[in-house]
Amino acid sequence: MSFDRSIKIAPSILSADFANFGAEIQAIEAQGADWVHVDVMDGHFVPNLTFGPPAVKAFRPHVKTVMDVHLMITPVDPYIQAYADAGADILTAHLEAGPHTHRTLQAIRAAGMKAGVALNPGTPAEAVEHLLDLTDLVCVMTVNPGFGGQKFIDMTGKVRRLRDMIGDRPVHIEIDGGVDPETAPLVAAAGADVLVAGSAVFKGGSVENPGVYGDNIRAVRAAAESAL
Protein backbone atom coordinates (compact mmCIF):
# COMPACT_ATOMS: atom_id res chain seq x y z
CA MET A 1 0.00 0.00 0.00
CA SER A 2 1.89 3.06 -1.20
CA PHE A 3 0.96 6.54 0.01
CA ASP A 4 -0.60 9.21 -2.14
CA ARG A 5 -3.08 12.03 -1.73
CA SER A 6 -5.22 11.40 -4.79
CA ILE A 7 -8.96 11.11 -4.11
CA LYS A 8 -9.94 7.59 -3.02
CA ILE A 9 -13.56 6.43 -2.77
CA ALA A 10 -14.22 3.92 0.00
CA PRO A 11 -17.77 2.53 -0.16
CA SER A 12 -19.09 1.48 3.25
CA ILE A 13 -20.59 -2.00 3.13
CA LEU A 14 -22.90 -0.92 5.96
CA SER A 15 -25.20 0.04 3.06
CA ALA A 16 -24.74 -3.29 1.22
CA ASP A 17 -27.06 -6.32 1.25
CA PHE A 18 -26.09 -8.07 4.52
CA ALA A 19 -27.04 -11.46 3.05
CA ASN A 20 -24.63 -11.04 0.15
CA PHE A 21 -21.41 -9.34 1.27
CA GLY A 22 -19.03 -11.29 -0.99
CA ALA A 23 -20.86 -10.38 -4.19
CA GLU A 24 -21.42 -6.79 -3.02
CA ILE A 25 -17.69 -6.30 -2.36
CA GLN A 26 -16.81 -7.75 -5.77
CA ALA A 27 -19.38 -5.49 -7.42
CA ILE A 28 -18.16 -2.23 -5.88
CA GLU A 29 -14.52 -3.06 -6.66
CA ALA A 30 -15.38 -3.95 -10.26
CA GLN A 31 -17.19 -0.60 -10.44
CA GLY A 32 -14.19 1.46 -9.32
CA ALA A 33 -14.03 1.49 -5.51
CA ASP A 34 -10.50 2.26 -4.31
CA TRP A 35 -10.91 0.87 -0.79
CA VAL A 36 -13.62 -1.15 0.99
CA HIS A 37 -14.79 0.44 4.27
CA VAL A 38 -15.98 -1.98 6.94
CA ASP A 39 -17.97 -0.51 9.88
CA VAL A 40 -17.65 -2.54 13.09
CA MET A 41 -20.16 -1.51 15.78
CA ASP A 42 -20.59 -2.96 19.26
CA GLY A 43 -23.96 -1.68 20.52
CA HIS A 44 -22.06 0.02 23.35
CA PHE A 45 -19.71 2.69 21.96
CA VAL A 46 -22.41 3.33 19.36
CA PRO A 47 -26.10 2.42 19.55
CA ASN A 48 -25.93 -0.14 16.74
CA LEU A 49 -24.45 -3.58 16.24
CA THR A 50 -22.92 -4.94 13.01
CA PHE A 51 -20.28 -7.66 12.78
CA GLY A 52 -17.04 -8.84 14.35
CA PRO A 53 -13.77 -10.59 13.45
CA PRO A 54 -15.22 -13.81 11.92
CA ALA A 55 -17.32 -11.80 9.47
CA VAL A 56 -14.42 -9.51 8.61
CA LYS A 57 -12.27 -12.58 8.00
CA ALA A 58 -14.94 -13.91 5.64
CA PHE A 59 -14.89 -10.62 3.68
CA ARG A 60 -11.10 -10.74 3.25
CA PRO A 61 -10.80 -13.04 0.21
CA HIS A 62 -13.29 -10.87 -1.68
CA VAL A 63 -11.36 -7.64 -1.10
CA LYS A 64 -8.64 -7.14 -3.72
CA THR A 65 -8.04 -3.45 -2.92
CA VAL A 66 -7.66 -2.23 0.68
CA MET A 67 -9.76 -3.43 3.60
CA ASP A 68 -10.32 -0.34 5.76
CA VAL A 69 -11.81 -1.43 9.09
CA HIS A 70 -13.47 1.27 11.22
CA LEU A 71 -13.94 0.14 14.81
CA MET A 72 -16.77 1.81 16.68
CA ILE A 73 -16.15 -0.30 19.75
CA THR A 74 -14.78 0.00 23.25
CA PRO A 75 -12.49 -1.41 24.50
CA VAL A 76 -10.29 -1.74 21.39
CA ASP A 77 -7.03 -3.27 22.57
CA PRO A 78 -8.29 -6.81 23.37
CA TYR A 79 -9.52 -7.15 19.77
CA ILE A 80 -6.55 -5.78 17.79
CA GLN A 81 -4.95 -9.16 17.13
CA ALA A 82 -8.28 -10.63 16.03
CA TYR A 83 -8.65 -7.94 13.34
CA ALA A 84 -5.03 -8.47 12.25
CA ASP A 85 -5.76 -12.19 11.93
CA ALA A 86 -8.95 -11.35 10.01
CA GLY A 87 -6.80 -9.52 7.45
CA ALA A 88 -7.52 -5.82 8.01
CA ASP A 89 -5.11 -3.57 6.10
CA ILE A 90 -6.06 -0.45 8.06
CA LEU A 91 -7.53 -0.57 11.56
CA THR A 92 -9.08 2.65 12.87
CA ALA A 93 -10.01 3.20 16.49
CA HIS A 94 -11.92 6.15 17.93
CA LEU A 95 -10.02 8.63 20.04
CA GLU A 96 -13.07 8.68 22.32
CA ALA A 97 -12.99 4.89 22.84
CA GLY A 98 -10.53 5.00 25.71
CA PRO A 99 -7.83 6.95 27.54
CA HIS A 100 -4.82 5.30 25.85
CA THR A 101 -5.11 5.91 22.11
CA HIS A 102 -1.32 6.35 21.92
CA ARG A 103 -0.85 2.78 23.14
CA THR A 104 -3.65 1.51 20.87
CA LEU A 105 -2.05 3.00 17.74
CA GLN A 106 1.33 1.47 18.65
CA ALA A 107 -0.35 -1.90 19.16
CA ILE A 108 -2.15 -1.71 15.79
CA ARG A 109 1.13 -1.03 13.99
CA ALA A 110 2.92 -3.72 15.99
CA ALA A 111 0.28 -6.17 14.76
CA GLY A 112 1.26 -5.31 11.17
CA MET A 113 -1.61 -3.01 10.15
CA LYS A 114 -1.84 0.66 9.25
CA ALA A 115 -3.19 2.61 12.23
CA GLY A 116 -6.10 5.05 12.00
CA VAL A 117 -7.67 7.33 14.57
CA ALA A 118 -11.26 8.57 14.22
CA LEU A 119 -12.70 11.78 15.67
CA ASN A 120 -16.34 12.28 16.56
CA PRO A 121 -17.84 15.60 15.45
CA GLY A 122 -17.39 17.08 18.94
CA THR A 123 -13.69 16.26 19.19
CA PRO A 124 -11.25 18.95 18.03
CA ALA A 125 -8.41 18.44 15.54
CA GLU A 126 -5.88 19.40 18.21
CA ALA A 127 -6.71 16.21 20.14
CA VAL A 128 -4.63 14.17 17.66
CA GLU A 129 -1.70 16.56 17.36
CA HIS A 130 0.58 14.39 19.50
CA LEU A 131 -0.51 11.18 17.79
CA LEU A 132 0.30 12.10 14.19
CA ASP A 133 3.66 10.30 14.11
CA LEU A 134 1.91 7.08 15.19
CA THR A 135 -0.95 7.44 12.73
CA ASP A 136 -1.46 6.54 9.07
CA LEU A 137 -4.99 7.94 8.78
CA VAL A 138 -7.18 10.42 10.61
CA CYS A 139 -10.89 9.79 10.09
CA VAL A 140 -13.03 12.89 10.53
CA MET A 141 -16.60 11.85 11.31
CA THR A 142 -19.11 14.09 9.58
CA VAL A 143 -22.01 12.37 11.33
CA ASN A 144 -22.32 10.96 14.82
CA PRO A 145 -21.22 7.35 14.31
CA GLY A 146 -23.70 4.49 14.42
CA PHE A 147 -25.86 4.65 11.33
CA GLY A 148 -25.66 5.12 7.59
CA GLY A 149 -27.77 7.67 5.77
CA GLN A 150 -27.43 10.57 8.20
CA LYS A 151 -27.13 14.24 7.31
CA PHE A 152 -23.61 15.63 6.73
CA ILE A 153 -22.22 17.81 9.55
CA ASP A 154 -19.82 20.43 8.19
CA MET A 155 -16.33 19.78 9.60
CA THR A 156 -14.33 21.58 6.91
CA GLY A 157 -12.60 23.84 9.47
CA LYS A 158 -11.38 20.75 11.32
CA VAL A 159 -10.17 19.16 8.09
CA ARG A 160 -8.20 22.30 7.19
CA ARG A 161 -6.54 22.42 10.62
CA LEU A 162 -5.62 18.75 10.36
CA ARG A 163 -4.20 19.21 6.88
CA ASP A 164 -1.94 21.99 8.22
CA MET A 165 -0.88 19.94 11.23
CA ILE A 166 -0.09 16.87 9.11
CA GLY A 167 2.21 18.79 6.76
CA ASP A 168 4.44 16.37 4.85
CA ARG A 169 3.67 13.34 7.00
CA PRO A 170 2.21 10.38 5.06
CA VAL A 171 -1.14 10.57 6.86
CA HIS A 172 -4.46 10.24 5.03
CA ILE A 173 -7.46 12.37 5.96
CA GLU A 174 -10.62 10.32 5.63
CA ILE A 175 -14.17 11.69 5.77
CA ASP A 176 -16.96 9.45 7.02
CA GLY A 177 -20.67 10.28 7.00
CA GLY A 178 -23.04 11.98 4.60
CA VAL A 179 -20.55 12.13 1.73
CA ASP A 180 -22.29 12.61 -1.63
CA PRO A 181 -21.64 14.66 -4.80
CA GLU A 182 -22.75 17.82 -2.96
CA THR A 183 -20.60 17.46 0.15
CA ALA A 184 -17.52 15.77 -1.41
CA PRO A 185 -16.13 19.00 -2.95
CA LEU A 186 -16.21 20.78 0.44
CA VAL A 187 -14.05 18.19 2.18
CA ALA A 188 -11.76 17.60 -0.81
CA ALA A 189 -11.03 21.32 -1.04
CA ALA A 190 -10.22 21.33 2.68
CA GLY A 191 -7.62 18.57 2.24
CA ALA A 192 -9.33 15.19 2.62
CA ASP A 193 -8.22 12.38 0.30
CA VAL A 194 -10.29 9.34 1.37
CA LEU A 195 -14.06 9.65 1.06
CA VAL A 196 -16.21 6.99 2.70
CA ALA A 197 -19.67 6.77 1.17
CA GLY A 198 -22.38 4.30 2.06
CA SER A 199 -25.81 5.48 0.89
CA ALA A 200 -24.39 7.61 -1.93
CA VAL A 201 -22.69 4.56 -3.52
CA PHE A 202 -25.28 1.83 -2.90
CA LYS A 203 -28.46 3.80 -3.59
CA GLY A 204 -30.37 2.56 -6.62
CA GLY A 205 -27.96 -0.30 -7.38
CA SER A 206 -27.65 -4.01 -6.62
CA VAL A 207 -25.38 -6.91 -7.53
CA GLU A 208 -27.78 -7.56 -10.42
CA ASN A 209 -27.54 -3.93 -11.50
CA PRO A 210 -23.99 -2.94 -10.48
CA GLY A 211 -23.56 -0.24 -13.12
CA VAL A 212 -25.43 2.11 -10.78
CA TYR A 213 -22.66 1.62 -8.19
CA GLY A 214 -20.18 2.68 -10.85
CA ASP A 215 -22.22 5.76 -11.78
CA ASN A 216 -22.50 6.69 -8.09
CA ILE A 217 -18.77 6.21 -7.42
CA ARG A 218 -17.85 8.29 -10.49
CA ALA A 219 -20.24 11.06 -9.43
CA VAL A 220 -18.66 11.38 -5.96
CA ARG A 221 -15.13 11.20 -7.39
CA ALA A 222 -15.79 13.78 -10.13
CA ALA A 223 -17.39 16.17 -7.63
CA ALA A 224 -14.41 15.85 -5.26
CA GLU A 225 -11.81 16.23 -8.00
CA SER A 226 -13.57 19.29 -9.40
CA ALA A 227 -12.75 21.09 -6.14
CA LEU A 228 -8.98 20.50 -6.36
Q: Which of 95, 188, 195, 197 binds ligand DX5 (CB under 6 A)?
A: 197
Strands (E), the chain: 8-11, 36-41, 67-72, 90-94, 114-119, 137-141, 172-176, 194-197
- Out of 34, 42, 68, 176, the active site residue is 176
| Residue 38 near ligand DX5 by CB under 6 A | no
Task: Name the helix (H) or strand (E) containing 20.
Answer: none
Separation CA 173–CA 183 (nearest Å): 15
Could you say which of 24, 29, 31, 37 contacts ligand DX5 (CB under 6 A)? 37
Contact 197, 161 (CB under 8 A): no
What x/- string results for residues 75 through 114 when contact with ligand DX5 is judged by CB under 6 A?
Answer: ----------------------------------------
Binder to ligand DX5 among 74, 81, 199, 206 (CB under 6 A)? 199
Q: Which of 53, 116, 145, 205 binds ligand DX5 (CB under 6 A)?
A: 145
User: What distance in Å separates the CA atoms of residue 36 and residue 87, rounded to the nearest whole number?
Assistant: 13
Interface with ligand DX5, residue 146, by CB under 6 A: yes
Nearest-approach distance from CB 42 to ligand DX5, in angstroms: 12
- 39 is a site residue for ligand DX5 (CB under 6 A): yes
25: nearest Cα among 40, 45, 42, 10:
10
The identity of residue 40, as a single letter, is: V
Residue 52 CA from chain centroid, whole number: 16
Q: Return the range that interacts with ligand DX5 (CB under 6 A); candidates 59-67, 87-95, 103-111, 190-198.
A: 190-198
